[in-house]
Amino acid sequence: MDTKRTILWAVFSIAGLLLYNNWLAYEGKTPLFGPQSMSKQEVAPVSGDEKKSDVPVSTATNTNTAPVLAPKAIPASMAQLASKERFTLQNDVLVVEVSADGANVVGATLLKELEADKKPIKLMQVTPGHQYFARSGLIAAGNAELPNHTSEFKLQASGKDGSGRPFLVVASERNGVTLEKTFILNTGSYVIDVMHRVTKNNAAVGPLVLYTELVRDGSKLEESQFYSTFTGPAVYTNKEKFNKLEFTDIEKNKIAIPKQVPAGDPAWVAMVQHYYASAWIPSDKLNRDIYAGKIDTNVYRVGIQTPIDDIAPGKTTVETARLFIGPQQESTLEAIAPGLELLKDYGYLTILAKPIFWTLERIYEYVNNWGWSIVILTFLIKLLFYPLSAASYKSMARMKEVQPKVMAMREANKGNPQKMNQEMMALYKKEKINPLGGCLPMLIQIPVFISLYWVLLSSVEIRNAPWILWIHDLAVPDPYYILPVIMAVSMWVQTKLNPTPPDPIQAKVMLYMPIIFSIMFFFFPAGLVLYWVVNNILSIAQQWQINKMIIKRAM
């Protein structure tokens, strides 16, 4: 039974590595084995010969008019967009740059989120190598060119309002329709209030539709080859909930999104990457339509179209939307819009991961150090599963106790494996040992361990968070590899406390496997390695104590 168990674990481990290797290759990342692939595509700027209209086509689900055709507007190239005049809006956490061409948000700097060189993170930007921005505009039936993300906007006013909030007002007019955009920032907030004030002086222009969309190139962040996080668009509706859209699926036109959203139901679209996100959250007064697609080579968008109440000539209406640009902090996201906290994606184990993170946050409120919070949380989880762990360790200790008898049986029945297995089963029955007793309790704990893994990997809170001494950032690998080495040693000690497989080759495999698997942790964030180190140390202490108790009982 020991042989079978060892073989099964080896098979599962190798199969897992192979599956992971294939997944890396499929995602365009560097595989563990085999030929390497490019992990990042270059963004091709739109040249003069390649310019084309990227103004969205209205789906017109809220009117009785014919489908709206895309206006014949020609968008500016990325080089032109980057060189145009920009207006700046700033509070204590966010700096926003709005382009005169289209009144698009083409720059967003997170003042309190720092890079390794201590400079603030630039989440949105338009450069020859990277495109990530937010935009909005108007479309209508026919070929009428209206103020959209390609129009020239003039500065109308800027400064601070009566409440001390920074604001910016820009306006543009086309074909008798004026669009005035007002951007407002609140102190300490990553949310931009964007008011679209629409004045219609041309009766020939049909019902108007406001579109708000996010545009990003498909290049993913540079990450460790041993783990990967999602980068790409996401949509949320009250009915379908959170839905991620892979760039590769958009490329192949294989996305399934809830296109129509009924009035009154919350809905938003987002662009997600590790730790950070942006999201357009329009009003829910009328039905809305969600869309996503490819704009150009390696450039994609996701957006929402919101119909504007029918405006009589000479009249004005205001449509309000909110634009979030910031870190994926659960408490902050929950307060902005329904479901927005799902931007911090824990996958299928969200039901377990959310209470784990909630507990981690409560611990942090007392100790004010994310490293010690991880240590205490690991201890609490270990305490919670003590009965299961104890049962597992007792079973392994009993297996180790009868190991000399098993070895003697193996030696006596070298040429008769069937008889050897029969005698081993008889021995286990006599000694009241369940051969699977060491595995089943551990399998029950696996979902919790995986959930904690995603909590620590996804939490922007531990980014730039120090622990002690040489650990200055729990979100990056240990700079001196001290924690991974301690982990390798702890895993080796654990194997010495477990029963040794009867077969010498299997024994060597089990001896070297901890070292092989520990190599991965040299590239994992220090916070994750810290959890495993503490967990292993507690496991060693628990198993050593149980082994000692069983030895005393046998004497």
- pLDDT by residue (tens digit) across 1-39? 444 444 444 444 544 544 444 444 444 444 444 333 333
Q: Tens digit of pLDDT for each residue in 81-111?
A: 554 689 999 999 999 999 999 999 999 999 9
345 has pLDDT over 50? yes
More confident residue, 235 or 429: 235
Helix (H, G, I), strand (E, B) or coil at 2: helix
Average pLDDT over residues 382-397: 68
pLDDT for 239: 84
Sequential DSSP letters for 17-81:
HHHHHHHHHHTTSPPSSS----S-PPP----GGG----PPPP--TTSSSPPPPPP---PPPHHHH
256 has pLDDT over 50? yes
Q: Which of 173-187, 300-314, 510-524 has the lowest mean pLDDT?
A: 510-524
More confident residue, 160 or 498: 160
CA distance 129 to 149: 21
Q: Which of 122-136, 190-204, 369-383, 493-507 has the lowest mean pLDDT?
A: 493-507
Sign (positive or negative) of CA dihedral 329, 333, 334, 338: negative
pLDDT for 527: 87
SS3 of 509-552: the string is: HHHHHHHHHHHHHHCCCHHHHHHHHHHHHHHHHHHHHHHHHHHH
Tell the burial category of 408 from Cβ atoms under 10 Å away from its Cβ (0-12, 13-18, 19+).
exposed
Return left, alpha or beta for 103; rule: phi > 0 is left, psi -120 to 50 is alpha, else beta. Answer: left
CA distance 178 to 146: 8
Helix (H, G, I), strand (E, B) or coil at 193: strand
Helix (H, G, I), strand (E, B) or coil at 215: strand
B/e letters for 226-237, b = 16+ CB within 10 Å, e = fewer, are eebeebbbbbbb
44 has pLDDT over 50? no
Average pLDDT over residues 422-431: 67
CA distance 124 to 93: 14
- The model's pTM: 0.79
CA distance 304 to 282: 8
pLDDT for 228: 73
Reference 389, options 397, 272, 164; nearest CA is 397
CA distance 395 to 120: 53
Q: Tens digit of pLDDT for each residue in 521-547?
A: 787 888 888 988 888 888 888 777 766
pLDDT for 117: 80
Average pLDDT over residues 339-364: 89
64 has pLDDT over 70? no
Radius of gyration of the chain measured on its C-alpha atoms: 29
Average pLDDT over residues 251-260: 83
pLDDT for 11: 41
Q: Are 209 and 139 in contact (CB under 8 A)?
A: yes
Average pLDDT over residues 216-237: 81
The residues pairing with 321 across neighbouring beta strands, listed in sequence order, are 194, 282
Q: Are 487 and 493 in contact (CB under 8 A)?
A: no
pLDDT for 128: 86
Element (H, E) at 270: strand 267-273
pLDDT for 111: 94
Tokens 């994310």 belong to 370
More confident residue, 424 or 292: 292
pLDDT for 431: 61
304 has pLDDT over 90? yes
Average pLDDT over residues 369-398: 78
487 has pLDDT over 60? yes
Averaged pLDDT score across all residues of the chain: 78
Q: Are 168 and 98 in contact (CB under 8 A)?
A: yes
51 has pLDDT over 60? no
